Amino acid sequence: MPIKNQENDYPTEKPPTNHPPGLIHCLFSGGINKTVGETNIVSFYTTILDLISRKYLRVKIKTVWYKREYGDIIPKYEITMKRNARRHYKELNKFEVNVLSCLTSLEIHGIIDLLNYEELFKKRVRANKFQRNYKEWSENIHKKYFEDNEFKYFNPNKSDKLKTLGMILMLIMIFTLILAMVIEAWLISISFLTFISGIFLVLSPQKDLGGWSEEGMELKEKWEDFKYYLIKDLRKTRGKNRFNNLWNQYLQYVIALEIGETFNINLIENIKNSNMKETSGYLEANLFDQYGGFDLIKKIVKEGLKADGSYESKKRYNTSGNFVPGYGI
């Protein structure tokens, strides 16, 4: 069901709450091994898109023409980024400031040099700044939303028990299969059913196995309604320009809710057909995404975390950029 406006009882295109896209991805993204509340590279990336949309970061795509060996000249597109000096950090959450600080670890003369990250991270001070702020951004998003109650939205005890039960059922399958060979052949059917039940529990995403608090379930239902609206209702009931503009405006939530691939065929057209102004932060976020922003950020995070810049003996992040949870959810 699409979200209903309580006053006028009509579907609304706006996100149902003001929670940031990084948190929405933390809570509601899928995946077999995804822990509810775990930050990862997508949470980081959607926070960057949100900052671009709100004009704390400005993005341009620069066309560079170069000549290939056999003579023809082709364009190469380069992403340039810089901080918006007119926007003040005091308006941001701490975790958002941390994300900006990660990016400014690559800043040279006011320009964030995203393409030269490997060379820049050879400097210990830059690598240290990136690693410190990447660590703190995840800690600060947890402090803001879970400090008063680590199980505010989700208690993993139930899902953990069900996954443990799944492992036990798979072990029982092995035992009954052996018995079937030795004693009774009909036990093979029981063995098969036990295995199916076990593997279902083991492979099910944690978020689908229960454990949501009343507040968490209410939030989950609101965002699932909004996700459904974007996928189904908006595509069917709105004109093309309307769809394109809304897509550009809520791109960070589209990615956070993992529905981008549904419309992947139309993304470039969304930019061309949008009647948003070229100075729009939403349009800049979409351009950044379309010209390889996600892959570039993944490479930057991987290189930044493995670079020799940490003064601490122990790192809490792996090279793919996933936070290793040590507290809360």
Mean pLDDT of the chain: 76
Q: Please check whether residue 9 lies inside any domain of the structure.
A: no
Global confidence as pTM: 0.77
Q: Would you call 71 exposed, middle or buried from its count of C-beta atoms within 10 A (0-12, 13-18, 19+)? A: exposed
Report the C-alpha gap between 256 and 253 in whole angstroms.
5
Between 290 and 320, the higher pLDDT residue: 290
- What six digits make up the tokens of 126? 């830059």
- The secondary structure of residue 11, as a DSSP letter, is B
- Quote the pLDDT of residue 238: 59
Between 186 and 326, the higher pLDDT residue: 186
What share of the chain in percent tops pLDDT 90?
A: 29
Cα distances (Å, whole numbers) of residue 171 to 29, 160, 177: 29, 17, 10
- Quote the pLDDT of residue 98: 96
User: Residue 242 pLDDT more than 80?
Assistant: no
318-326: average pLDDT: 47
Q: Please check whether residue 299 lies inside any domain of the structure.
A: yes
pLDDT tens figures, 249-269: 888 998 999 887 666 544 555
Q: Please check whether residue 78 lies inside any domain of the structure.
A: yes
- What amino acid is encoded at 112 in this protein? I
């660590």: which residue's tokens?
Answer: 135
Q: Please check whether residue 266 lies inside any domain of the structure.
A: yes
Query: What HEC string does 183-234 produce?
Result: CCCCHHHHHHHHHHHHHHHHHCCHHHCCCECHHHHHHHHHHHHHHHHHHHHH
Helix (H) / strand (E) element for 130: namely helix 124-146
Q: Which domain range does residue 96 map to?
A: 21-156+211-306
Q: Please check whether residue 5 lies inside any domain of the structure.
A: no
User: Residue 278 pLDDT more than 70?
Assistant: no
- Quote the pLDDT of residue 58: 94
Confidence category of residue 118, pLDDT binned at 50, 70, 90: very high
User: Residue 191 pLDDT more than 90?
Assistant: no
- The secondary structure of residue 122, as a DSSP letter, is T
Measured between its terminal Cα atoms, the distance across the chain in Å is: 29
pLDDT tens figures, 217-240: 898 889 988 888 888 766 776 556
Q: Please check whether residue 104 lies inside any domain of the structure.
A: yes
Strand order in the sheet with 57-67: 57-67, 73-83, 111-112, 107-108
Q: Please check whether residue 10 lies inside any domain of the structure.
A: no
Report the C-alpha gap between 218 and 266 in whole angstroms.
32
What share of the chain in percent tops pLDDT 70?
A: 62
Is residue 231 within 8 A of residue 262, CB to CB? The reply is yes
Confidence category of residue 179, pLDDT binned at 50, 70, 90: low
Q: Please check whether residue 206 lies inside any domain of the structure.
A: no
Return the exposure string of 234-260: e unless at least 16 CB atoms fall within 10 Å of the residue's CB, then b.
beeeeeeeebbbbbbbbbbbbbbbeee
Number of domains the chain is built from: 1
């040099």: which residue's tokens?
Answer: 113
Cα distances (Å, whole numbers) of residue 186 to 96, 168, 191, 195, 260: 60, 21, 9, 15, 47
- Quote the pLDDT of residue 7: 39
Confidence category of residue 296, pLDDT binned at 50, 70, 90: very high
Return the exposure string of 303-328: e unless at least 16 CB atoms fall within 10 Å of the residue's CB, then b.
bbbbbebbeeeeeebeeebbbeeeeb
